[in-house]
Amino acid sequence: MSPVDQKHRPRSGAADDLPPEVDLEEEAAEEIVAPSGPDVAFTAIDWTPHAGDADGMVGAEVIQTLVKRLPNAPGVYRMMNAAGDVLYVGKARSLKKRVTNYAQGRFHTSRIGRMVRETATMEFVVTRTEIEALLLEANLIKRLRPRFNVLMRDDKSFPYILLTGDHVSPGIYKHRGARSRKGDYFGPFASAGAVGRTINSLQRAFLLRSCTNSFYKNRTRPCLLYQIKRCAGPCTGEISHTDYAELVAEAKDFLSGRSQKVKTEISAAMQQASENLDFERAAIYRDRLAALSHVQSHQGINPQTVEEADVFAIHQEGGQVCIQVFFFRTGQNWGNRAYFPKADPALEASEVLGSFLAQFYDDKPTPRAILLSHAVEEQELLAEALSTRAGRKVSISVPQRGEKKDLTDNALQNAREALGRRLAETSTQARLLTGFAETFGLAKPPVRIEVYDNSHIMGTNAVGAMVVAGPEGFVKNQYRKFNIRSTEITPGDDFGMMREVMERRFSRLLKEHGDAPQSAETAGEAEDDIEGVSGFPAWPDVILIDGGQGQMTAVRKILADLGIEDRVVAIGIAKGQDRDAGRERFFVRGRDSFSLPVRDPVLYFVQRLRDEVHRFAIGSHRARRKKEMVKSPLDEISGIGPGRKRALLMHFGTAKAVSRAAVEDLVVVDGISEQVAKLVYNHFHES
């Protein structure tokens, strides 16, 4: 649960934190612990004026009613429509003044006008300072994803390099997520691939192990990594713990920015070994130096005057936005990543970049310096907020000259090129969707296409898969898999499996998003489709089924039973003669089956969709089959969790031995009471 949702009774003295305009006897005040860094904690008051007088009102009218009792204090406001969906989250130095602007009904952009017209109610959170309001606003935007805010579309955590500190022989690993393990973390890196390449080079340079602790513990002779000179072999004593600790210290120095010192020491050791005629050892040092040079040569720009900074550059074109981010740590370039946030085309670059920065650092460590290509609104306030979160000074600047200006210019050039590539891909996708609509007789290009397939081996571990495509290509966060659960389906019955998938998918869709919008076959210029959480339509315009007439008959019956047969266009794709690509037959309601010309771009497009659903279905099936293969009979016993399962296996060795054990033998195991022992015994001796 988000901290913002954790509500408690008002603490004693809470009224001292409120502005005088708020009447605690009239309004209910609830304490909210707002998101903060490890050294920051603050309290906000969730406060909503009486809304009874505004029942039935919408737009500026309802806002005028609510603004009368608002305090002249900093805080965060949420604008919501009649269905309770959050339309917009904003922060203000003075809630009363900011919301009054909306109530006046004079708007600079059509976006704000639409937002106000849809507003049916508002909620407010009063904070003590504007900094707290800024931090809380960023947290709420990321959590609620309001339609009218600037939204980050790619919010994956960044990978780090971890040098462990909880083992006598520390290892080097790729790490993503919470930093709960003891050790030194170096990053962030732009991608998992960048981390993998760096670790491979560091293993050649410093011979650090990358195996698990259990693998290390059970070795009796060196593994292959030792043979190919990627590990020093501390597990079997090929190197002493003291000498291995020196290698770890050198790796820390290199990753901490003291690379020249490390290279000088290795070079001196190589020279000394050569003078002592120990040419084999000198060759080892030579290879380590070459590996270090390889690491640095693949880092692109390595600035001389920038020790630790993130560089942001924004470019707008064709109604889309690209923000390019470069990461510099310890004077080294650790990669870059392009973001394409969702933003209204009418917004200025400074507005988009400012909102993006607040969300970007909501759950990520902040560097000491942030370099921007464009000045952002409230730059000083944002720097102060990030400094408060980080517990140290964070500077935000727009370089005008020198090496820092070169870095932002380079990031800006990358942003232009990345957005150019995306616009070209989007244009191509738009042409394909237009051609798709013409080929299959749709009134307009589809916005959401869902493709379905099944995967199984003789009916075992059956999985249904759904992939989704739209105007910007595949939408992977919308993919879904369906573990076939019905016991009434005959193993290998593809029709029955598809029937279950369709029932589960569209029954849930009706429950969560109501009636289907008008289909792409008859929609014409209908209103926008019902949107899901991410703003992408929840309802498909078209569903593609990997199958022929039999599959389509089963699918259409399900759609008819649910009352949506006329709302969703269903198209079947049957493999052609000899299962050759290019000879596929298409089945559409109201038309005879047909094929497309071999070189038709729409045919290639459909083949790509079908190949993607094949890949996803087979991958999901293999994952389920692998899980089934390593499944233990102990997993089926209710009340036996991972801890007790581990204790039983450690004591008896195998699940088969556990099944043969008597109750008296089972109670000897740590954590197994007599009641649990009887439960285990009865499971294996039901008769």
The string of DSSP letters for 234-299 reads GGGTSS-HHHHHHHHHHHHHHHTT-HHHHHHHHHHHHHHHHHTT-HHHHHHHHHHHHHHHHHHHTT
Which pLDDT does position 517 carry in this prediction?
60
Order of strands across the sheet with 183-186? 172-175, 160-164, 183-186
What is the domain count for the chain?
Answer: 5
What distance separates the 2 farthest-apart alpha carbons in the chain?
93
Which pLDDT does position 529 carry in this prediction?
44
Burial class (CB in 10 A: 0-12, 13-18, 19+), 685: exposed
**Number of Cβ within a 10 Å radius of residue 35:** 21
Q: What angle do CA 33, 35, 36 make, to 5 degrees?
A: 110
Decide if 331 is inside a domain: yes
Dist CA 352 CA 149 (whole Å): 9
Residues 415 and 476 in one domain: no
Dist CA 480 CA 453 (whole Å): 11
Residues 261 and 314 in one domain: no
**Number of Cβ within a 10 Å radius of residue 40:** 16
**Number of Cβ within a 10 Å radius of residue 327:** 21
Dist CA 672 CA 400 (whole Å): 69
Most confident of 161-165, 304-308, 344-348: 161-165
Decide if 179 is inside a domain: yes
Give the residue-averaged pLDDT of 57-80. Answer: 84
pLDDT tens by residue, 278-300: 787 787 777 777 766 665 554 55
Dist CA 586 CA 579 (whole Å): 14
Which pLDDT does position 38 carry in this prediction?
40
Is 315 a residue whose pLDDT tops 90? yes
Helix (H, G, I), strand (E, B) or coil at 83: coil
Give the residue-averaged pLDDT of 194-200. Answer: 80
The percent of residues above 70 in pLDDT, for the chain, comes to 81
Residues 353 and 293 in one domain: no
pLDDT tens by residue, 115-125: 888 888 888 88
Phi and psi dihedrals of 104, rounded to 5?
-70, -20
Q: Please indicate whether residue 639 or residue 647 has the higher confidence score (pLDDT).
A: 647
| Average per-residue pLDDT for the chain | 79
Which range marks the domain in which residue 402 is found? 309-421
Which pLDDT does position 543 carry in this prediction?
92
Of 25-39, 367-381, 597-611, the one with minimum mean pLDDT is 25-39
CATH code for position 73? 3.40.1440.10
Choosing from 578, 601, 627, the residue where a domain stops is 627
Decide if 343 is inside a domain: yes
**Cα 304 → chain centroid:** 33
Which pLDDT does position 54 carry in this prediction?
52
Residues 313 and 460 in one domain: no
Q: Please indicate whether residue 28 or residue 73 has the higher confidence score (pLDDT).
A: 73
Q: What angle do CA 463, 464, 470 make, to 5 degrees?
A: 140
CATH code for position 663? 1.10.150.20
Residues 289 and 324 in one domain: no
Decide if 426 is inside a domain: no
Residues 485 and 560 in one domain: yes
Dist CA 319 CA 316 (whole Å): 7
Decide if 151 is inside a domain: no
Phi and psi dihedrals of 281, rounded to 5?
-70, -35
Beta bridge partners of 78: 89, 123
**Alpha helical stretches, state H, 347-401:** 349-360, 379-390
Structure tokens of 239?
Answer: 């190197």
Residues 610-637, buried b or exposed e (16+ Cβ, 10 A)? bebbbebbeebbeebeeeeeeeeebeeb
Residues 104 and 203 in one domain: no
Burial class (CB in 10 A: 0-12, 13-18, 19+), 680: buried
**Alpha helical stretches, state H, 303-393:** 349-360, 379-390
Helix 379-390 vs helix 349-360: angle between axes, to the nearest 10 degrees? 10
Which pLDDT does position 44 carry in this prediction?
47
Residues 318 and 412 in one domain: yes
Structure tokens of 615?
Answer: 């890949």
CA-based nearest residue to 337, from 192, 534, 196, 151? 192
Helix 259-275 vs helix 241-255: angle between axes, to the nearest 10 degrees? 140
Choosing from 593, 610, 627, the residue where a domain stops is 627
CATH code for position 577? 3.30.420.340
Q: Please indicate whether residue 190 or residue 668 has the higher confidence score (pLDDT).
A: 668
**Which run of H or of E encompasses 503?**
helix 494-513
Residues 409-439, buried b or exposed e (16+ Cβ, 10 A)? ebbbebbeebbeebeeebeebeebbebbbeb
Dist CA 525 CA 535 (whole Å): 19
Is 524 a residue whose pLDDT tops 50? no
Residues 165 and 129 in one domain: no
Dist CA 25 CA 10 (whole Å): 12
Give the residue-averaged pLDDT of 374-388. Answer: 89
**Number of Cβ within a 10 Å radius of residue 112:** 17
Are residues 567 and 517 in contact, defined by beta-carbon separation less than 8 angstroms?
A: yes
Helix (H, G, I), strand (E, B) or coil at 332: strand
Residues 490 and 604 in one domain: yes
Decide if 79 is inside a domain: yes
Residues 466 and 375 in one domain: no
The percent of residues above 90 in pLDDT, for the chain, comes to 12
Which pLDDT does position 527 carry in this prediction?
39
* Cis amide bond preceding 303, omega within 30: no
Which pLDDT does position 342 carry in this prediction?
86
Phi and psi dihedrals of 624, rounded to 5?
-70, -40
Dist CA 374 CA 397 (whole Å): 9
Decide if 430 is inside a domain: no
Give residues with Cβ within 8 angstroms of 315, minimum separation 6: 321, 322, 324, 349, 412, 415, 416, 419
Cα-based distances in Å from 243 to 161, 220, 263: 22, 20, 17
Pairing of strands 43-47, 75-80: unpaired
Is 398 a residue whose pLDDT tops 50? yes
Phi and psi dihedrals of 82, rounded to 5?
-65, -25
* Location of structure tokens 């070189």: 599
Choosing from 144, 178, 200, the residue where a domain stops is 144
Decide if 429 is inside a domain: no
Is 9 a residue whose pLDDT tops 60? no
**Number of Cβ within a 10 Å radius of residue 240:** 11
Residues 258 and 360 in one domain: no
Dist CA 398 CA 380 (whole Å): 12
Is 21 a residue whose pLDDT tops 90? no
pLDDT tens by residue, 328-374: 887 777 788 888 988 888 888 888 998 899 888 887 888 889 999 99
Are residues 289 and 201 in contact, defined by beta-carbon separation less than 8 angstroms?
A: no
Helix (H, G, I), strand (E, B) or coil at 273: helix
